């Protein structure tokens, strides 16, 4: 276990989030959260499309993959998105009907909150 692999991993390309309706997911991630759609290609083997979204200029993307028995929707993704003003985004999303949890503000820690996409997948937003 102490031996290093011959090739080094150099980055993280994408993180998959299972969704039940890819069009609805694109509408949420692009129109509501403001991410860019980078790729949208049919992939018959997935039973849908390979769709990647990301913040402008970000290297890592979120793949909105079709949910199934091996990848169920409604999970805590562990994805933490950054924003310049967490309180402002929290208010805007709440006003738009997005499921957001309480804005957390602790001394010495950046403001943050959780939200859920239309499938119940959990994301975190943290102020830069």
| Percentage above 90 pLDDT, the chain | 84
On whether the CB atoms of residues 100 and 81 are closer than 8 A, the answer is no
Length, in residues, of the chain: 128
State both tokens at 9.
């991993």
Q: Report DSSP state, residue 71.
A: B
| 3-class secondary-structure state, position 46 | helix
pLDDT tens digits, one per residue of 23-36: 999 999 999 999 99
Separation of alpha carbons 36 and 105, rounded Å? 28
Domain boundaries, the chain: 14-127
The whole-number average pLDDT for the span 99-123 is 97
pLDDT score at 70: 87
CA distance to 36, 71, 82, 108, 115, per residue, from 55 (Å): 6, 24, 9, 26, 16
Token pair 């309480």 in the structure block, residue: 102
pLDDT score at 1: 54
When pLDDT is cut at 50, 70 and 90, the band that residue 45 belongs to is confident
| 3-class secondary-structure state, position 106 | coil
Please tell me the number of Cα atoms within 13 Å of 70 on its side-chain side: 4
Res 4 pLDDT > 80: no
CATH of domain 14-127: 3.10.180.10
Of the candidate ranges 5-19, 31-45, 95-109, 114-128, the one whose mean pLDDT is the lowest? 5-19
| 3-class secondary-structure state, position 92 | helix
State both tokens at 103.
């804005």
Mean pLDDT of the chain: 94
pLDDT score at 7: 78
On whether the CB atoms of residues 29 and 36 are closer than 8 A, the answer is no
């Amino acid at each position: 276990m102490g031996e290093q692999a011959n090739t080094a991993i150099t980055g993280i390309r994408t993180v998959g989030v299972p969704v039940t309706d890819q069009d609805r997911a694109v509408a949420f991630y692009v129109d509501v959260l403001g991410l860019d759609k980078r790729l949208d290609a049919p992939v018959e083997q997935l039973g849908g499309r390979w769709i990647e979204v990301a913040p402008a200029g970000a290297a890592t993307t979120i793949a909105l993959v079709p949910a199934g028995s091996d990848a169920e929707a409604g999970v805590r993704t562990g994805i933490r998105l950054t924003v310049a003003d967490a309180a402002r985004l929290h208010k805007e999303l709440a006003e738009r009907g997005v499921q957001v949890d309480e804005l957390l503000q602790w001394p010495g820690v950046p403001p943050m909150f959780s939200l859920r996409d239309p499938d119940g997948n959990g994301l975190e937003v943290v102020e830069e």
